[in-house]
Amino acid sequence: MTEKNINTETIILNAARVVFQHKGFDGARMQEIADEAKINKSLLHYYYRSKELLFEAIFNEALLKFIPKISIVLSSDISLEMKVEAFVESYINMLIENPFLPGFVLNEISRNPEKIIGLILQLGVNPNKLDAILQKEIEQGKIKNISSKEFIVNLISMCVFPFIAKAIIQGFLFGNNNKEAQQFLLERKKSIPKFFMNAIKK
Amino acid sequence: MTEKNINTETIILNAARVVFQHKGFDGARMQEIADEAKINKSLLHYYYRSKELLFEAIFNEALLKFIPKISIVLSSDISLEMKVEAFVESYINMLIENPFLPGFVLNEISRNPEKIIGLILQLGVNPNKLDAILQKEIEQGKIKNISSKEFIVNLISMCVFPFIAKAIIQGFLFGNNNKEAQQFLLERKKSIPKFFMNAIKK
DNA sequence: TATATATTTGACCAATTGGTTAAACCAAAT
DNA sequence: ATTTGGTTTAACCAATTGGTCAAATATATA
């Protein structure tokens, strides 16, 4: 009972994840999610009362995965360069496993910004820690003067954007060759930290 | 007659642009576009036979604006650094005027990649020119070794991504202070070229 | 085994939505 | 003034969609 229960719920969530991430809230159809899960449509409403609630379950999970857990990397006792390397490596690995995540999350946020304000404040990211680290490095003359905001926005931009724009990059720069485009994304695990550290090192 | 004709058509396009860019194809309602244009819904179908056709008109226009016209900047007779500055300046100006453009275009592309393959091939971007320029600079020892693909992807990532992620950046880094976040985007016209050139200069 | 409880299904519904159509309207030409 | 052409509207329609409900089925409990 409980096991079957959990199982069905997982099946539903997996199906909903696929459909919502590909089509967005407006484009997704409850029937399509039911088909994907190979269950009756009514069963969706049995476990999640409405499309809204089912979507929220998927979206919250996606948002948590999308928000990089920088603090873990930051608090480790390694050089800034290695921190950047470790962050990019783990974040791009996540993106390769969840290529539709960024587009999905960012799109739904901009479609409904008010809804996530609460979630964001709840998560409570503190840029202070990064601020302190950067300040020390700057004072020691190791890196150029850069704000933590620029630092984090530039780094995440270079990691995430190519995944959002993969189709267009693949079309324009790789003659629609999927393999080459995919390889390009992979290699960025190495090229981004190199590029990034060159930009800030003194 | 003709004047009125053109006028109505423009009114419709303006209304459709607003609604489609905010809600996407699936989220947009023909009735809402009609309301925005303050006309009868049937009139939409009189000028554009279907939602699809009206959407295509908006999307093609948006795609053309979104694809940076790099060649213009590239062919001018100024240093690479100034080319980068000019490109970022003009591109971010466009983004400030059309903040919803990137999310709209990229989202609809990833929702329907096949449809734009034709458009892309038609536009025919040639990275060769940029390739040649970079190669020369590298040989002259002015910049580090970097492929034109990395060059263009990194540059455009840093320009575009913050606009797609504005809501989340504003929430996390600026305590939902719109003005500060907007100011941040503006200042990137200067900070991106500086950061970027530091990364590639030798 | 019999009873109660939870799960799954098929049939159905009300609301929404893109689209159609015939009639009304309006400006210019005759 | 009447006709003619394109333009605009109101009423309507068929299909889709999220959601409901009662019946059926499986599962656990007594």
Percent of chain B with pLDDT over 70: 95
> Which chain A residue has the Cα nearest residue B155?
A158
> Which chain A residue has the Cα nearest residue B161?
A157
Q: Is the pLDDT of residue A120 over 80?
A: no
| Residue B158: count of CB within 10 angstroms of its CB | 24
- Span A131-160, average pLDDT: 97
| Tens-digit pLDDT profile for residues B24-50 | 999 999 999 999 999 999 999 999 999
> In this structure, is the CB of residue B195 within 7 Å of any atom belonging to strand D?
no
Positions in chain C where some atom is under 7 Å from a protein CB = 6-11, 16-22, 27-28
pTM across the whole model: 0.93
B4 CA: nearest nucleotide by C1'? D7
> Which chain A residue has the Cα nearest residue B143?
A198
Alpha carbon of B39: minimum distance to chain A alpha carbons (Å): 25
Q: State the sign of the Cα–Cα–Cα–Cα dihedral B175, B177, B182, B183.
A: negative
pLDDT the model gives residue A5 = 61
Mean of pLDDT over chain B: 93
Cα distance between residue B22 and residue B98, in whole Å: 11
| Tens-digit pLDDT profile for residues A36-62 | 999 999 999 999 999 999 999 999 999
> In this structure, is the CB of residue A40 within 7 Å of any atom belonging to strand C?
yes
Higher pLDDT among residues B73 and A79, named by residue:
A79
> In this structure, is the CB of residue B5 within 7 Å of any atom belonging to strand C?
no
Q: How far is CA B46 from CA A46, B21, B27, in A?
A: 43, 22, 22
| Tens-digit pLDDT profile for residues B76-110 | 899 999 999 999 999 999 999 999 999 999 999 99
pLDDT the model gives residue B115 = 76
Nearest to B20 by CA among B94, B103, B92, B91: B103
CB contact under 8 Å between A103 and B110, yes or no, is yes
Distance from CA(A90) to C1'(D18), angstroms, rounded:
39
B7 CA: nearest nucleotide by C1'? D7
| Tens-digit pLDDT profile for residues B138-157 | 999 999 999 999 999 999 99
